[in-house]
Amino acid sequence: MTYLTSTPTAGPVRETRGSGMYLLNEALARSRQREAEQAAREHALARRFVAGRRWSMLARFAARRAERARAAAG
């Protein structure tokens, strides 16, 4: 790609930038974005799994405590 820019002292300056480098950078950015999204999905799944296990342990604890309270009352 060719760009015409202007500098205060020299007038118009022609700059040439390769579009191949832009495409490579865009591909790398998309790849990193996909990897970040996949990591976020995996992290969310792990958090849900751990939360489920924690609630299950809490439910077992509450059931045991309720059973002891019923036995002590009766």
- For residue 33, which amino acid is it? Q
Would you call 31 exposed, middle or buried from its count of C-beta atoms within 10 A (0-12, 13-18, 19+)? exposed
pLDDT tens per residue, range 42-73: 999 999 999 999 999 999 999 999 999 999 99
Q: How confident is the model at residue 39 (pLDDT cuts 50, 70, 90)?
A: very high
Report the pLDDT value the prediction gives residue 6, as an integer from 0 to 100.
58
- Report pLDDT for 64: 98
Integer Rg of the chain from CA: 31
pTM as predicted: 0.55
